[in-house]
Amino acid sequence: QVFTFNSVEIRAEPSAKVKNGAPMSIICHADISKSANFHLQHNITIFKDGKLVYMIVSDKEVARYEVPIARSADTGDYECTVKADGKTKSSKSLHVWVTGMTKPILTAEKREVLEGEVVKLRCELPEEVPPLQFLFRKTKTNSTPKEKLVFEAYRNFSTVEFSVEEGDNILYFDCFGKRFVKHANFELESSEPSNRTLVTVKEPFIKPSLIIKSTSNITEGDRIEFECSTVVARMRDIEIILQKNKTILNSVRDEKLLKYSAVATLEDSGEYLCKVEQGRASKTTKLNVVVAELFPKPILSASMSKLDENKELTLSCSISGFRKANFSILRRNSNGDILLKNSRNLTMRVNVNDTGSYICKAEVKGIVKESKPVRISVYAPVSKPSLSVVSGLPEVVLGKPLQLICRLMVGTPPITFTFYKGNEVKKVVINDTYATFLDENIRQNDKRGYKCDARNNHSSGVKTSNILNITVIVPIRNASLGSIPYGDVEDGSGTAFLCSVEEGSWPIHFKIFKKTDHDTLLYEKTESTDRIVWHKETMSRQDTGTYYCMVSNRAKVNVKSHPITINVILASWQKGVIAAFVLILIVGAITLTVWWFLCKKKKGK
């Protein structure tokens, strides 16, 4: 009894694309070849998206999975597997698409609500499988529907709340369901709309009324009275608020009438808003108010805005086309304005401390208005400036920048400082008490002196410093060391060392060293010259070695010469003594040899 699977096939009837609600069949067929006509049991299983949905054991080679009413949840990938006598064969995957969705069911918690409350809705797709999207819509007459989209990953229903706003009266609600469809490249498929639910809205209170009880023509100084009222169905938690430019002027709770009064000023012109609130409900009424000007703002004038100390200053306050007013002149202060005089005019002799801002105020019928501030600047004359070098001494190293500072002991800022090199203006600086100047163009033979002047708005004019002359220090260049005699020196004789520089400002500090493990200082001296000579009276064999000199000046740069070598040799008399001694030794040796020869000859005879 031999058999083999030729193929296992799966198909859907009437097709792989089925309308929602229609019947559907998934058919699995095994094509088997047998060596003889013998009985064979088949275990047939059908899977959807990898999950078992149907299984049968039969001697037939065909199995049929019936779906009486297809829903979108039946959309998926189907596959069947056939097992027989230890052999297994599976079909290819078949994607079945159930188009369309069931109609959603919408329910509202209440069918009648008040303004400010919320409508709670529930939308359900009873035969659909999540994940799903739910689109809720709120529609009122002659307006664009408001929508809310909710994603549900694990439920086939969703809930949402819509607030009931002012002006809502008859509202209609419905909802849609949506799902992702794999067969359509994961596009969204929508259901038909749900049942339409009607919700009626009642007003908890009417739109407020805002009126002015006083005369319609309001002028500064008049008393202005506002009344804001409404009619409410339920007094509890009712609140009335009066605002202007978002500023709350007055409010009442659990009452249906608000009153507010004030003395009118020009700033009270504008839009007023009366708002009634209860829970989430809110209604508003606006009223535009115009307040006529009683008198214009006063104008403060000064005899001078910039003046010298100890001069007279006159301040005058006036109102254009209006004379009967109570005037006062004040000085601005961070801790509160300082009253100077209750008068239209003020004359005073000023000092530097009177610098500041001044205003005047005018009062008519209880209305007080303030002028624009007037700035008064009082100047003390500048003192004679002093010019100096920032580093201290009036000198600079050639090639280095020179920084100067010009200072004042007295003078009201702002002060204009001017720096000169010779008669040439180099820099102008505006500052309070000092200014600096950096000269980076220093030359060796530049003989021009520096000066600075200072001036401010005082009538005394410009003050100039004394001329500052600067010493330019030339750094040491090319130090050299020589000796007389040079090279070989006889033991016991003297040697003159000459250390010199090619260029450098005096005084110059000279040092002569002999090279050792730690370099021995032999001689040092400071001179206002470009060379020094050091005489070493007696040289010995220990003085043989290498010598150099180190030179510096106020530029504070050490310059080292090339080294020279001194070799101390024997003196002439020392050489004569050695020669005589050697000669005596030679004569003695010859004499001894002759004597020995004569003695030997005598013995032979």
Q: Using CA atoms, how far apart are residues 495 and 489, in angstroms rounded to an integer?
A: 8
CATH of 3-99, one of 3.40.50.970, 2.60.120.10, 1.10.645.10, 2.60.40.10: 2.60.40.10
The closest of 392, 385, 588, 374 to 471, measured between CA atoms, is: 392
CATH fold for the domain made of 477-569: Immunoglobulin-like (2.60.40)
Amino acid at 156: N
Pair of tokens at residue 127: 């035969």
Domain formed by 386-473, architecture: Sandwich (2.60)
Q: What is the pLDDT of residue 75?
A: 85
Which amino acid belongs to residue 459?
A: S
Residue 303 tokens read as 């005899």
- Buried residues in 263-284 as b, exposed as e (16+ CB within 10 A): ebbbebbeebbbbbbbeebbbe
Pick the CATH number of 105-202 from 2.60.40.10, 3.40.50.920, 3.30.43.10, 3.20.20.10: 2.60.40.10
411: left (phi over 0), alpha (psi -120 to 50) or beta: left
Taking the whole predicted model, whether its pTM rises above 0.85 is answered as no
Residues of the chain with pLDDT under 70: 182-186, 215, 570-575, 605
Domain boundaries, the chain: 3-99, 105-202, 209-289, 299-379, 386-473, 477-569
Q: What is the dihedral of CA 221, 225, 226, 231, to 10 degrees?
A: 180
Q: Is the peptide bond prior to 193 cis by the omega test (within 30 degrees of 0)?
A: no
Each residue of 125-155: pLDDT tens digit?
988 888 899 999 999 888 889 999 999 999 9
480: left (phi over 0), alpha (psi -120 to 50) or beta: beta
Interacting residues of 510 by C-beta distance below 8 A, sequence separation 6+: 499, 523, 524, 525, 526, 527, 532, 549, 550, 551
**Angle (nearest 5°) at CA 417 between 411 and 419:** 140
CATH top class, domain 299-379: mainly beta
What pLDDT is stored for residue 305 in this prediction? Answer: 92
In the chain the first and final C-alpha atoms are separated, in Å, by 157
CB-based contact 543:568 (threshold 8 Å): yes
Q: How far is CA 69 from CA 190, 243, 354, 419, in A?
A: 19, 63, 99, 102
What are the residues facing 388 on neighbouring strands? 405
For residue 235, what pLDDT is reported?
Answer: 77
What is the tens place of the pLDDT at every residue in 303-343? 999 999 999 999 999 998 777 889 999 999 989 899 999 99
Domains 105-202 and 209-289 agree in fold: yes
- CA pair distance 92, 81, nearest whole angstrom: 10
- Top-tier CATH class for 209-289: mainly beta
DSSP 353: G
